[in-house]
Structure 1
Amino acid sequence: MLTRILAVIILFLSFGSCLPTARAEAPQIVGEAAALLDAGTGQLLYGKQEHKRMFPASTTKVLTALVAMERADLKETVTIGPNPVNAGGTSMWFQEGERLTLEELLYALLLNSANDAGVAIAEHVAGSVENFAAICNQRAKELGARDTHFTNPHGMPDANHYSTAYDLALMGREAMKNKDFRKIVATVHHEVPRSDPEAQKYLFNHNKLLWSKVYGYQGATGIKTGYTVQAGQCIIAAAQRDGRELIAVVLRSEGSNLWTDAARLLDYGFANFTNQQLVRQGEVMDKLPVKYGKSQVSLVAASDFLYTFPRQGAAEVQISKEIIPSIKAPVTKGQVLGTVLLKSGEQELGRVNLVAAADVQRDWWAISKAFVTWTVPPLVILLWIRRRLMLYRRRKQRAARRRRYYDYEIE
């Protein structure tokens, strides 16, 4: 119930009020731009020029992989055409006519950062690099990445190929929801089957956070590095601790600072923020009478609602409900009947729909009773009035006959 949720929030806020209210010191990042997102809530926890448009280098391949996984089956066979052979940059040196599964190409794309794999994937999914770039740009907009425009699937330099630290964090967050993507980007070693025994088969993940004794990060789960002269050192990194996952992005860092920048961001997020579940999916929040229904309808939260709070100086949260004033049967399970509004002062934290927990059928007896209630009494009154009018007319008629009779007697 809502009161139970409020009690939990009050308990959390009481705990928060015992902590110092000073803000934790922001991490010192060498990279030109950076962003840190909580993967569970999508909240931005730290930003440094996070909306500045920059070259993303091979971090582009995160969106390439996501779009490919959403639009094609991993087991599909891809035939290498003439264009991937001329992709340039980091390559697996695929040969025209070579056949591999989409899954193997994705391993080459995400571990080895193979540009030829990116072109082959784009042509397989969309027919051409241009068509694939248009799909990627549309997908980016759907994710809220408003400052992104891609012209290719691999991130080779192009004046019209750009993104931001924040946008790349959104892409990384969405991609990590895909279990196949998560599996690939967490893989350190992989062997790609090739028909040519002399061809490159062995892949090694470029993300040192996963495996390095020096730069390895506890709980690292992926995602992708990138480098060009124009873009500098770039990374989208992810890590899990205590049931939380964070997405860190650093653009245009230098050398080993790439790894320390990512680690500082992740440390900052884990140390200074915590997630609280304010609304739980399926929990009964209220009940609503249903006119002409066989029962009341329980209103349940349509989804969970998590919010990331600073560990120091938690804010006060107010929860209110906005429910439709009345509803008539029938009611369908899942029908939206209201919302839960969560606010901190004047800031709206979010909304959660309240939906019907079950169907409520029409109660025909209730409808009949309503019909009887609203029709029988007026009908009885009308019949009574009609009866009174008839009696009145009869009395008048009898009185008139008597008068005529008396007048006749007198004459």
Structure 2
Amino acid sequence: MKKFILSVLLLSSFSYATANAKEVTEPEILSEAAILSDSESGAILYEKNADKKMFPASLTKIATAIYAIENGDLNDITTVSKEAAEVDGTRVYLEEGEEVTLKKLVQGMLINSGNDAAWAIAEHLDGSMDRYSENLNAYLKEKVHVEHTHFVNPHGLHDENHYTTAADLAKLTNYALQNETFKEIFGTKELKWWGKSWETTLITHHKMLKGEVPFEGVTGGKTGFVDEAKQTLATSAENESIKLTAIILKADFKRDIYKDTINLLSFGFSHYDSSHLDKTEVFPAEGKTFTTGGKTVAITLPKGSYNESVTSKGRLMIEDHNGKVVQTVQLVEEKRDEVASRQLKSEEKPEKKTIGSYGKIGLMIFLFGVFVLLLRKNLKAKASRRRRM
């Protein structure tokens, strides 16, 4: 009886410990809007006011950078205009008439947040701010699939018609991080700068990237500030299991954007892993068969237990143990002839050439015969040597 009671107590304590181990406490965020996403799958792991219309300040330059990289020639020489040289705010002190490569302008804009560099980029690509705004917004909708973004300038100085959301900025940053050139510049901590009017070393303003605010795994970032937007911050980070993107908007103080970012990244690293759906995987659901459409698809999985299910319309749902949807993936229905072809291929087995029992016996006899011949030859050789002796 004592053993029975002891067993019950042990089981009860084990169940309680397991339940507590699975509890997920979301981070407390001070900023007005924030989002954390898997940089590769795009899965949203945390959000606060993520679809609220906000002012991005210099996070705008993420859009200007990837637009320039994908639509311009980074080796092009740009001549700085009077308007670019005189733009307000943070600058890399370009001078009117100065000739600079497009790549150098992108570096000066992202690393040192140069508004003059951003203006020069826009003029070089599209000639005027109106034309630039029109083309940039079309590009963001077509390529990045933003839903609530409208930019009227390349740098983020305040304008009531210049706005976005945390969710759109996460999409934008994740899209841009797929480009190796952008990723390299976004993660640059310092860069020697030789300009017409000054020589210096540009140092990133992002305190986590340059190590002033310690956090392991930060790979890139961009800061922003104007009075109306307050403090804004974009950060990329990774460990051996997952790559993350964190966006913070409208914090009152710099310390808050870094505290919020650390809380978001710590939450992501603690509770999620990256994985993928193989292009050969098959998902049956209600008499239908779905696939990834021949593509390898990045997904995000909760650490520990989770559930996967496929709806009749081919939506793969990944849920944590509490039923929270972590990610949905739209699959492609496989046609009947494709199903039949796949099944036929799986049933086809390569013909195996095997040695049957009679074949094995014959092989053994053959080998034994060879052995006897070699043995006789060896004995004859020895006898011959003895006779010569």
Query: Which band: TM-score by shorter chain?
Result: 0.7 to 0.9
> Quick check: 1:21–1:312 contact (8 Å CA) kept in 2?
no
- The Cα shift of 1:212 comes to 2.1
2:233 is matched by which residue type in structure 1? I
CA deviation string 1:143-177 (max 9, x = no partner)? 23211111100000001011111111111101111
Aligned mates of 1:36, 1:300 — CA distance in 2: 25
CA deviation string 1:302-331 (max 9, x = no partner)? 1112322322541233498x9xxxxxxxxx
> Quick check: 1:140–1:146 contact (8 Å CA) kept in 2?
no
Q: How does 1:4-403 map to 2 (within 5 A)?
A: 22-142=22-142, 143-196=144-197, 199-213=198-212, 215-253=213-251, 254-277=253-276, 279-281=277-279, 283=280, 301-318=293-310, 342-343=316-317, 349-352=329-332
Aligned mates of 1:268, 1:341 — CA distance in 2: 27
CA separation of 1:208/1:300 partners in 2, compared to 1, >3 Å: closer, same or farther? closer
Aligned mates of 1:95, 1:81 — CA distance in 2: 8
Describe the SS at the equivalent of 1:93: coil
CA separation of 1:354/1:189 partners in 2, compared to 1, >3 Å: closer, same or farther? farther
1:72 is matched by which residue type in structure 2? G
Superposed CA RMSD? 2.7
Length, aligned pairs only? 306
> Quick check: 2:292–2:332 contact (8 Å CA) kept in 1?
no
Describe the SS at the equivalent of 2:307: coil
Aligned mates of 1:238, 1:312 — CA distance in 2: 24
> Quick check: 1:302–1:352 contact (8 Å CA) kept in 2?
no
Describe the SS at the equivalent of 1:111: helix
CA separation of 1:211/1:149 partners in 2, compared to 1, >3 Å: closer, same or farther? same
- The Cα shift of 1:276 comes to 3.3
Aligned mates of 2:156, 2:200 — CA distance in 1: 23
2:194 is matched by which residue type in structure 1? P
- Aligned match of 1:295: none
> Quick check: 1:303–1:353 contact (8 Å CA) kept in 2?
no
1:219 is matched by which residue type in structure 2? G
Aligned mates of 1:133, 1:21 — CA distance in 2: 49
- The Cα shift of 1:86 comes to 2.1
> Quick check: 1:233–1:252 contact (8 Å CA) kept in 2?
yes
Aligned mates of 2:74, 2:66 — CA distance in 1: 12
Describe the SS at the equivalent of 2:202: strand
Aligned mates of 2:71, 2:294 — CA distance in 1: 28
CA deviation string 1:179-201 (max 9, x = no partner)? 011111111110122234xx253
Describe the SS at the equivalent of 1:246: strand
Percent same amino acid at aligned positions?
Answer: 32
- The Cα shift of 1:344 comes to 5.7
Aligned mates of 1:344, 1:70 — CA distance in 2: 33
CA separation of 1:195/1:42 partners in 2, compared to 1, >3 Å: closer, same or farther? same
> Quick check: 1:19–1:313 contact (8 Å CA) kept in 2?
no
> Quick check: 2:293–2:331 contact (8 Å CA) kept in 1?
no
CA deviation string 1:206-230 (max 9, x = no partner)? 11111224x1321111121101111
Aligned mates of 1:20, 1:310 — CA distance in 2: 15
CA deviation string 1:234-259 (max 9, x = no partner)? 01100011142111000111221111
Aligned mates of 2:308, 2:294 — CA distance in 1: 23
Aligned mates of 2:141, 2:297 — CA distance in 1: 23
CA deviation string 1:36-72 (max 9, x = no partner)? 1111211111111111111100000000001000111
* Structure 1: segments with no counterpart, 5+ residues: 1-17, 287-298, 323-339, 361-411
- The Cα shift of 1:20 comes to 5.4
TM score, norm. by length of structure 1: 0.69
2:232 is matched by which residue type in structure 1? C
1:257 is matched by which residue type in structure 2? D
TM score, norm. by length of structure 2: 0.72
- The Cα shift of 1:28 comes to 0.9
> Quick check: 2:241–2:273 contact (8 Å CA) kept in 1?
no
> Quick check: 1:318–1:344 contact (8 Å CA) kept in 2?
no
- The Cα shift of 1:349 comes to 3.4
CA separation of 1:341/1:54 partners in 2, compared to 1, >3 Å: closer, same or farther? closer
> Quick check: 2:306–2:318 contact (8 Å CA) kept in 1?
no
